[in-house]
Chains A and B, each alone.
Chain A
Amino acid sequence: MSGDAGGAQTERPAVPIVIIMDEDAATRGATVMIDRAGDDRALGTFTTLRPGGRGRTGGPLGRRAFLGAAGALALGWAGSGWSDADYAPARRGMLDAIADTTTRTAASTGVGAIDPTVMAALDRVLRHAFVPPEIEGLAYENRPLPIGHGQTISQPYIVALMTHLLALRPHHRVLEIGTGSGYQAAVLAELVDRVHTIEIVPPLARQATERLPRLGYGNVDIRLGDGYHGWPEAAPFEAIIVTAAATHVPPPLVAQLAPGGALVIPVGEPFSVQMLLLVRKGADGEVTVRQILPVRFVPLTGGH
């Protein structure tokens, strides 16, 4: 087959591409319009990439049915001998740690403070109910935790930052890839009417299916399956969060992102998030990508 390939330059790209450069490229990055006129599937559509842009702050507080949860919990979770109320001070400590880290990393993340509605949601989710009982005592430390089956639950600060970046409003449809313990899904469920989440490890999916309704999150749809393909029946989504490790952004997910929507991926090994990838789709379908370093770190020393 290489014999008749006819050379790389001529062979590829297969689609004729027209590139239009934006004028003020130097100041805020160029807008590049890629006209895939030759692509028969997407005739006449435009995929645009525009870098830059800051996170909007989120909408009003999402009202979730949560009242019953606390009562149910008080009955169900007596394992450690601690009641849910006993964890309230620890949870406030966690919120302080999140706020503190956010302030100190503001310069590199571009996020000065986490949206108060997100903070309020974090305050309502009982994180200790999402971790294995043996480490319940660590639940509110600002660190990632193992949740069994070789999986982890992100550091609260990262959960807060990602949720903030999604700029959620109650009517938003949200898709999460990688349900894990269900903690992130619960935080999302506090903020929006409907959350879709996909998990690929059967016992984790089963556990979340049992756990989330028990804690009062009846507005979460859990599916066992491959998140790669997204959830086409429920698409488009205003927000997508991919907590599963990914070597690339699955094209179906970008496709299922609604205009104006945001997709966020934490990138890194278990127990260490290196950066957040934030993909936004503009109202006109243009896509912008930002890479956010969630630590206060400048690779150069002061002299430069």
Chain B
Amino acid sequence: MNAAEQRAPGVLLLAAVALLSAAALGYEILLTRLLAIVQWHHFAFMVISIALLGFGASGAFLLVAGERIRLSVGPFVALAALAFGVAAPACFAIAQHVPFNVLELPWSLRPLGSLFLIELLLALPFFIAATAIGRALIVFGSSLSRVYAADLAGAGGGALAAVGLLHLLPPDRTLDGLGAMAAVAAGLAALRAAHIARWTLLANAAALIVVLAVDPGWGELRISPFKPLPQALRVTGAKPAESRSGPLGLVSAVENEKVPLRWAPGLSLLARAPVPEQVALFVDADGPTAIVRHRPGSPPPAYLGDLTSALPYHLLERPRVLVLGAGGGIAVLQALGGGARSVDAVELQPDLVAITRDRYSGFSGDVYGHPTVKLHVADPRAFVEAGRGEGFDLIAVDALGASPSGLHALEEERLLTVESMRAMLARLSPHGLLAVTGWAQLPPRGGPRGFATLVDALRTEGIEPAARHLAWIRSWNTSTLVASRSPLTEARTAAVRDFARARAFDLVHVPGIEAGESNRFNVLERPWFHEAAARLLGPERERFVRGYKFDIRPATDDRPYLWSFFRWAHAPEVLALSREGGSGLLAVGYLALPVTLVQAAVASAALILVPLLLVRRRGGRSGTARRPVTLGGFFCLGLAFLMMEIAFIGRFTVILSHPLHALVVVLAAFLVFAGVGSWLAGRRGTGDSGNSGSITLPVAGIVALAAAAIAALPHLTSWLLGSSPGTRIAAAIVLVAPLATLMGMPFPRALARLRRLDPALVPWAWGVNGCASVVGAVLATLIAVHQGQAFVIAAAALLYAAAAVACGRMGRESRNREGSSRG
């Protein structure tokens, strides 16, 4: 490295670093989207977590080979950015061609080889970007916190850029957009290079942009043939009619005149009315939900009255109905058929609504244009919380979206938590009903958890005894829960019985139910559902939940994982059964967590230790630095940062009522303000002279703010949920800012200490931080599923404290060393 470089990175290079960092983070977000489309969410989680170890690998690489890199930083970053620009779309394209079927995993470990290959391919772009950023960090050691600040701030911008790309481009083109971004970064960095190199690099960057702009066709999505959309498209007569994409997903409509979809979960076996023709709607190739053919002016299709979800309409007279998650409008039609006086339909996914309303307005009898129907494109949770005044006679929630197989175990469900159900109960008219319809999986899981959650909500609202306010029925594949603020009258109870009997649905619970009344039509080996309901209403409820082989604790805002049922206590039994047909018991989605954690731990250990051994074998200098302590310190910092960040994202997913807004706003706020913190930290303390600045102080602040967050977040949640989206976003930023600023300080300061102690180890610490970030992210989700997000925040604060202790030792050592060398 030459003297000029030692001096300062310069604005152009900082901008290039920021832009490359933005592209890397954008890649993470876009991959998450794309892999959720072509495979499933949990697969995306697993693959991307591991791919991010590319950051850890870059540290190992720089430690071992960094000194042999002759290229100066400018051209190096430029080359790396160019390589990233090619690799980002290309690696995804190649990875898509690796044959892999995640669904087969419970049956065989054979696909693991392919999985590893996919992870390796997707790690490459991250490795390239991280190597360039890491090298800039090392070379400009004396202004390292400015480089780190550019890195963090750039990443924050990358989160926003990713969403922008999802808005602007179809999903299969977004990676090309990202590649172009990297090409611009290459151009900026190239300006620092000498003549010929400069023009060559610039020409290449321009060429890359041109190639990506004309669409090399790399991005084409190859969706798993086992996902519902490709399945539907194989059927004779299937016509892909329309597809629209946005940050919230890819919506595809499929028509089929020859073999129309007939989606009617829970339809009575005694139903006579035909299920009319439907158009299938898929979100991220999953689903379907449907739009039903309906002639305006004629009564809505009669089959809708023979679903379990029709129950509340038999207990109500001309109700004012709120349908949450209206999708293609089936529940709205059902409400109209059930005699609704008015229907407020809420749907978050704008494309679902747009397709139903625009393209199929004729087909659907213009269900959303009906004079008594009011459509709201909004988050259902926020809609419920924001409402005031006049109550609804019926709030209908459909939880049939998520498939019952456990593929969605890691996804958060904000609408069916205790807090959310309380809010819904509060919006009911005095005799109004809350009705929730979901799949009736076997062995029972979602049903009992939904019931337990509703019982909790009733109790905390002071509506007791809950047993008198609840009814629950089931068909062979769906179940519908109904809760009322006022006790269910004799007449209503009788109406539930009549409704169920006439359609061969089973009673699970009604006030005063007798044991023999349940499990009559759809006969199970034992009346599992009824027994669960009885226990959950009785005094031994806690014991029952503890003794159940699935996790059926009520879902809360702190632990909104409605679909995650796995319990470690029963893992051996479930795992043993999975290989002989019991894979239906497995929460495949959940299992991605431990599998990822193990992979991450093994790979991290290798990436951290192997280069160390290599360097020592080569007779690397120093060795005085107390490596285990240093390692511990940096590892804790990496873990803690990500755990804090993930827990906050989770929490703000509820507050911002929008999964993607939460991710992007909170992530960007965390990164940008951590960048600010890093920059502030560097103004005093990371330079070559003087003391490196306190780590204890910011950590003390972090611990204090974390404690405050744990105490205040539950109250803030319900308070903020009632306010406008703008207010909520502003509040999120304001709340994150101080914490994130403090969180940006310890790492550059610790790095500065290490640099004085043993500069050769700086790349290694960069790698340790990268590995710890990956492990931290997985650990955060794993802990949140079982213990909740508040617990994750507390654990992160503890880890910060531990890191402060370890770094304190490093600091003493560096002072001693300097003292002795001076003295």
Chain A contacts to B: CB under 8 angstroms = 1-3, 5-9, 11-14, 17, 19, 25-27, 29-30, 32, 34, 39, 41-42, 47, 49, 51-52, 97, 101, 107-108, 110, 142-144, 146, 149-150, 152, 155, 157-158, 200-202, 224-226, 228, 247-251, 254, 267-275, 277, 279, 287-301, 303-304
Contact = CB atoms under 8 A, between A and B. Distances in A.
What's the interface size class on B, roughly?
A: 35 or more
A41 B272 contact: yes
Nearest to B521: A49
B226 interface: yes
15 contacts: A2-B339, A7-B317, A8-B316, A11-B339, A13-B502, A30-B520, A142-B580, A150-B234, A152-B226, A157-B581, A248-B477, A251-B274, A269-B404, A275-B584, A295-B577
Interface string B416-434: 0000000000000000000
Given A146-B226, A300-B544, 13 more contacts: A12-B338, A29-B519, A49-B270, A149-B234, A224-B236, A247-B263, A268-B584, A271-B106, A272-B103, A274-B442, A274-B584, A287-B269, A293-B525
B340 interface: yes
B613 interface: no
A8 B523 contact: no
B168 interface: no
Contact of A8 (B313, B476, B522): B313
Contacts of A146: 101, 104, 226
A144 B107 contact: yes
A1 B300 contact: yes
A225 to B, nearest CB: 8
A300 B549 contact: yes
Nearest to B546: A301
A272 B267 contact: no
B69 interface: no
A275 B339 CA distance: 36
B274 A297 contact: no
Interface string B655-675: 000000000000000000000
B107 to A, nearest CB: 5
Interface string B335-348: 01111110000000
Contacts of B319: 8
Nearest to A255: B272
Contacts of A201: 234-236
Contacts of B317: 7-9
Nearest to B527: A29
A51 B506 CA distance: 11
A118 to B, nearest CB: 17
B523 A200 contact: no
B236 A200 contact: yes
A39 B443 contact: no
A201 B310 CA distance: 33
A101 B444 contact: no
Contacts of B259: 200, 225-226, 228
A272 B520 contact: no
B318 interface: yes
B225 A149 contact: yes
Given A9-B314, A39-B272, A279-B269, A26 B528 contact: no
Interface of B: 101, 103-104, 106-108, 224-226, 230-231, 234-236, 258-259, 262-267, 269-272, 274-275, 297-300, 302, 305, 310, 313-319, 336-341, 370, 372, 403-405, 407, 441-444, 476-477, 495, 501-502, 504, 514-516, 519-525, 528, 544, 547-550, 570, 573, 577, 579-586
Contact of A34 (B108, B310, B502): B502
B577 A14 contact: no
Given A19-B501, A296-B577, A299-B528, A25 B516 contact: yes
A180 to B, nearest CB: 12
Contacts of A143: 107-108, 579
Given A1-B297, A150-B231, A291 B581 contact: no
A80 to B, nearest CB: 17
Contacts of B404: 269, 274
Given A8-B317, A32-B520, A295-B584, A269 B502 contact: no
A149 B581 CA distance: 22
Nearest to A15: B272
Contact of B523 (A101, A225, A289): A289
A101 B580 contact: yes
Closest 4 A/B residue pairs (Cβ): A150-B225, A26-B516, A248-B267, A51-B523
Contacts of A158: 581
A291 B107 contact: no
A274 B407 CA distance: 14
A301 B480 CA distance: 26
A101 B338 contact: no
Contacts of B225: 149-150
In this complex, the member of B269, B314, B407 whose beta carbon has the largest number of chain A beta carbons within 10 angstroms is: B269
Given A8-B317, A269-B405, A295 B548 contact: no
A47 B523 CA distance: 17
A209 B338 CA distance: 47
A9 B491 CA distance: 11
Contact of B270 (A27, A29, A34): A34
A184 B483 CA distance: 45
Nearest to B310: A12
Given A8-B314, A8-B317, A270-B226, A101 B581 contact: yes
Nearest to A5: B339
B258 A226 contact: yes
B396 to A, nearest CB: 13
B583 A272 contact: yes
A228 B263 CA distance: 12
A271 B443 contact: no
A299 B236 contact: no
Contacts of B477: 247-248, 267
Contacts of A14: 302
B230 A299 contact: no
A1 B336 contact: yes
A303 B543 CA distance: 10
Contacts of B224: 150
Nearest to A150: B225
Given A2-B339, A304-B547, A51 B235 contact: no
A302 B502 CA distance: 37
A49 B108 CA distance: 41
A10 B406 CA distance: 40
B106 A272 contact: yes
A279 B522 CA distance: 9
B581 A13 contact: no
A296 B272 CA distance: 36
Nearest to A303: B547
A5 to B, nearest CB: 4
A59 to B, nearest CB: 25
A158 B582 CA distance: 11
B406 to A, nearest CB: 9
Contacts of B269: 49, 249, 254, 279, 287, 289
B299 A251 contact: no
B143 to A, nearest CB: 54
A39 B273 CA distance: 11
Contacts of A200: 235-236, 259
Contacts of B264: 247-248
A51 B521 CA distance: 5
Nearest to A275: B442
Contact of A294 (B101, B106, B234, B581): B581
A298 B525 CA distance: 10
B502 A248 contact: no
Contact of A274 (B258, B441, B516): B441
Nearest to B570: A301
Contacts of B104: 146, 271
A228 B501 CA distance: 25
Nearest to A24: B516
B365 to A, nearest CB: 9
B524 A295 contact: no
A271 B107 contact: yes
